Chains A and B, each alone.
Chain A
């Protein structure tokens, strides 16, 4: 037992929760530069946790009486979550300080939120799942509204909270129905009790749909996406970066696991729902983004579109789908890190760039930055030879494997529509003249610069050595 007591600290979630509390203390008791210190501490903690997850010291111990799952899939997503959170802290540090919201609570809250996400990814029981979702959401509600004196930020926080609470309510109702009809809360128990029947009772179908609706809120799939553009736009950009990069990973992992584990035998029930969510997200994400003028809103719709593509892999409901989704989310993470690290460093006339028109004429003064943005945009649009194309390719491979030709065709058609608004940004940078004479300023910390360089390098040159990623992903499965 003594051995166990020591090794408990090697369980990533345990150490993360301890580190999060330490970070709170550290912030409270440091008199000067509390924000910078806690941010550095939080970044370091996340990296430590990523290493702990990677080396995976004590798997059986971590299952806590079968409440948590630990396998290649959860491991992959948890590492992505930790790294994504760390990266988003590093790239947004300057922005926080510059816009005077350098409160030490932010990194701490983000740590707690990350903890919630890791638990979400691993949850193997409805109760744990709910608690994890709430832990992650509550922290995020606060940070969305952290810029107290800004009306927009407060509005986005409240909006996020109200809609989030609504979705939690629906989710909980779904849970209660599932529990009522199966008498189980653990994923395995539900699976066992469902294996004796051929057809889901109508109440259980309702429960399943309610849970899916709740989860669709979290991944912001259409028609439960309404909060996304407003929150993205209203929250400070640095918080938006976190929203765009990290919580999507956890929510996606959870929706995959919830569909494929307890309800794995009833895929014909939930694939219809997910099919609709997927198509609606792809097309609404593509069409609604066309009219946007604000870059953050555009990014919100773009992320809705990306969710649609990941859900194609879920509809496929096969092993390839899980691998494809992992690849897609990895690529999505990199593209967002790259784009936000630029957005958080680019100033025009002493104000951070937020409108699409603000980028006009960027290619003349900052050729390298505009080339990077162009590559990210083409990659998001799924134009080869950049990395984003391969994410789409893998998703379509999974879809074709399950004979989902219609879904695949709808997917590529939506990608053509979405190409329009990605191209519009390139058009602004390269074809248009700058509307004002104010020059651009690109202020970036060294660490963020390293991240940006590495990520851009991967996005651009992935085509030359794709095995780097596929070798990892080949081993990923839910079993």
Chain B
């Protein structure tokens, strides 16, 4: 451990960058400076988060890099942050995707660049802060504060129905998360503590656990999102600008899965055991139903949005079967989905920037004009399908192995989702990339430029890295997950 508050620095560096941007006056000549400051800040934050990974001790299950400062004088609320195996990669995912997003919006965002960068840097602070919070109230504040920049990003820089989508996104997720506030206050009144670390265990009577679990479920099920609470997602994804979709799919959805692991499993094990069949049912419906819906989509972004719901269904299955394969699979699946779906949205952004449409029918035969694009797109497409060697395979495989211990019906549901994902992704790829160019407008479409290559190639490397060397990622999270599992099994007498 060093004396430098590394984690706080990571959280608040984006805000510092935002202050610098605030001081730059926006005009034609300084727009590039604003972009550069934002990019440098986000890359700096990414490097800091890598430094945290480097110094991370894999042999510890508990929080590392802890900082604890008294926050409220009358209640036991602390500014208490820390990183453990579960949050480590979530933080890195956030910083990684944010830097790529800022680069990706270099040319596609032309109006109000200053406000855009401010919103993005604020969003980054909030995302990192949320994953790094050990104090539950702090977690909640970051969890809700995410809504503000995302609302603005969808509403200002979004598509035609952006206002409808931004309101739906904000109010829907707010409705879910406010119930969590009551649950948090109840937890505080019962235990007089707000520390996630201290409350891991079984501190509540069965009856109270049920209510608390439902309150947490309301917020995380909307966030992740589970069927039937997913309807905000396709709207938000389709209307958001490319980089907004990337962050939405890449990081914000993971807040739900992260919350399920931390709160539902970690603090409310009895209720989690009781409600697991409900989660399984909803997840299987989500996996099968949204996959079928995805096949029928005509808008590329909408298709990927529905595929996100299906993939998150697998994640919730993996979480609530509560064994080491299942949880590790769910974590890897979340990281993998963050990279893959983020990359897919960026790929859509590439052709959207050129043609300004996302209709599948419009495209076809892109391989003839854009060979590099087609190759990169294929890697991500296969990652989403779960081909061995890509990141998607590891997550899905582990989840399926884990669910055999739970019930074979769940396995059938999960596996059918994987098959269906191959159907809609390959079908999408075939329609966009293969064939001959029929559309006159596509005759002059250009392949990836340097900036786009710089964005997409790291993502492709990440997909393959997770797929080929999954242990690099599983090793740090194993002990933290085992702690939750052993507690869960102890409580439920397994």
Contacts and interface: CB of A to CB of B under 8 A. Distances in A.
Given A463-B141, A470-B74, A412 B181 contact: yes
Contacts of B70: 467
A423 B151 contact: yes
Contacts of B75: 397, 470
B156 interface: yes
B457 interface: no
B181 A393 contact: yes
A423 B170 contact: yes
Given A426-B152, A470-B75, 12 more contacts: A384-B144, A385-B145, A393-B137, A400-B189, A405-B182, A412-B179, A412-B181, A427-B166, A431-B155, A431-B162, A431-B163, A471-B74
Interface residues of A, number: 34
Interface string A447-470: 000000000000000010011001
Task: Name the prevailing secondary structure of the B interface residues.
Answer: helix
A61 interface: no
Interface string A404-437: 0100110011011001100100110011000000
A389 B71 contact: no
| Residue of B141, B162, B179 with most partner-chain A CB within 10 A | B141
Contacts of B156: 430-431
A467 B72 contact: yes
B182 A412 contact: yes
B174 A466 contact: no
14 contacts: A363-B115, A378-B148, A389-B141, A393-B137, A400-B189, A415-B178, A423-B167, A430-B156, A463-B141, A466-B72, A467-B71, A470-B72, A470-B74, A470-B75
A470 B179 CA distance: 25
Given A384-B140, A397-B189, A409-B179, A430 B152 contact: yes
B181 A474 contact: no
A283 interface: no
Contact count band on B: 35 or more
A408 B179 CA distance: 9
A171 interface: no
A378 B146 CA distance: 13
Contact of A383 (B71, B145, B162): B145
A36 to B, nearest CB: 36
A408 B182 contact: yes
A332 B402 CA distance: 52
Contacts of A466: 71-73
A269 interface: no
B181 A467 contact: no
| Nearest 8 A/B pairs, CB to CB | A412-B178, A384-B141, A467-B73, A400-B185, A431-B155, A470-B74, A416-B175, A474-B74
Interface string B117-144: 0000000000000000000010011101
A384 B145 contact: yes
A471 B178 contact: no
Given A383-B144, A385-B141, A396-B182, A419 B171 contact: yes
Contact of A367 (B115, B137, B167): B115
A188 interface: no
A401 interface: yes
A323 to B, nearest CB: 8
Given A397-B189, A427-B163, A416 B178 contact: yes
B435 to A, nearest CB: 39
A244 interface: no
Given A423-B151, A423-B167, A416 B174 contact: yes
B463 interface: no
Contact of A473 (B74, B166, B181): B74
Contacts of A397: 75, 185, 188-189
A325 to B, nearest CB: 15
B32 to A, nearest CB: 19
Interface in B264-316: none
Nearest to A415: B178
Interface string B316-337: 0000000000000000000000
Contacts of A426: 151-152
Nearest to B172: A416
A474 B182 contact: no
A323 B74 CA distance: 11
A151 B74 CA distance: 50
Contacts of A385: 141, 145
B39 interface: no
Contacts of B73: 466-467, 470-471, 474
A405 to B, nearest CB: 7
A298 B194 CA distance: 37
A383 B181 contact: no
Contacts of B366: none
Contact of B181 (A396, A419, A471): A396
Contacts of B40: none
Nearest to B190: A400
B132 to A, nearest CB: 15
A473 B73 CA distance: 10
B92 interface: no
Given A397-B189, A419-B171, A471-B73, A409 B182 contact: yes
B339 interface: no
A462 to B, nearest CB: 11
A427 B154 CA distance: 11
B93 interface: no
A419 B185 contact: no
B382 interface: no
A14 to B, nearest CB: 34
Contact of B171 (A393, A416, A431, A470): A416
B386 to A, nearest CB: 37
Interface in B35-59: none
Interface string B62-99: 00000000111111000000000000000000000000
B233 interface: no
Contacts of A408: 182, 185
Interface string A285-327: 0000000000000000000000000000000000000010000
B364 to A, nearest CB: 35
B148 A419 contact: no
Contacts of B145: 383-385
A420 B181 contact: no
Contacts of B178: 412-413, 415-416
Interface string A275-287: 0000000000000
A430 to B, nearest CB: 6
B62 to A, nearest CB: 27
B433 interface: no
A423 B179 CA distance: 20
Q: Which of B74, B148, B166 has the most CB of A within 10 A?
A: B74
B120 to A, nearest CB: 15
A474 B73 CA distance: 8
A384 B144 CA distance: 6
Contacts of A420: 167, 171
